[in-house]
């Protein structure tokens, strides 16, 4: 079990690393045997190299990407949050096994995440970006109607 302050610090470290595009800083928050489940990935991520590739894909696609935590709930060993993701798609977007050329469009999308910790490190990381909303803003998907 971690204290509320320890959980918030770890969560802030992870979010800060994303906003600095500091892959190594984010990887340092992960436990040795972590699992990262992301709705935009075809399979769970279990290695630091896979996590590095996933992060670098986002930073390549959105070099100015920024995440703002909107709401956060802290439990005994877990943190959950809502985020706003902003960025300009000025690089190719590798998502779900497909690479999409840059659109030059700016996005402001929502997402949620869930973090479970063990011994002061992230053991589970579940991310749920609104990829459909993002694709609509990029002009790559239309609303059903």
pLDDT tens-digit map of 90-130: 999 887 778 989 999 999 999 999 999 999 999 999 999 99
Average pLDDT of the residues in 52-77: 95
Is 84 part of a structural domain of the chain? yes
Write down the mean pLDDT value for the chain: 93
Handedness of CA 4, 52, 57, 131 (dihedral sign): negative
Is 127 part of a structural domain of the chain? yes
Q: How many domains does the chain have?
A: 1
Handedness of CA 129, 130, 131, 134 (dihedral sign): negative
Is 15 part of a structural domain of the chain? yes
Q: What is the pTM of this model?
A: 0.88
What angle is formed at CA 62 by the lines to CA 127 and CA 84, rounded to 5 degrees? 45
- Give me the CATH number covering residue 43: 3.10.450.50
- Give yes or no for residue 2 having a pLDDT over 60: yes
CA–CA separation, 123 and 30 (whole Å): 6
């Amino acid at each position: 079990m971690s204290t509320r302050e320890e959980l918030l610090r770890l969560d802030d470290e992870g979010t800060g690393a994303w906003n600095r595009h500091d892959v190594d800083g984010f990887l340092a928050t992960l436990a040795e045997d972590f699992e990262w489940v992301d709705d935009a990935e075809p399979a769970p991520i279990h290695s630091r190299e896979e996590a590095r590739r996933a992060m670098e894909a986002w930073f390549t696609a959105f070099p100015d990407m920024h995440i703002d935590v909107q709401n956060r709930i802290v439990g005994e060993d877990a943190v959950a949050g809502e985020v706003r993701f902003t960025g300009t798609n000025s690089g190719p977007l590798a998502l779900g096994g497909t690479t999409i050329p840059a659109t030059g469009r700016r996005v402001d999308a929502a997402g949620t995440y869930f973090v479970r910790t063990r011994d002061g490190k992230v053991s589970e990381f579940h991310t749920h970006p609104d990829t459909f909303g993002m694709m609509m803003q990029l002009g790559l998907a239309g609303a059903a109607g």
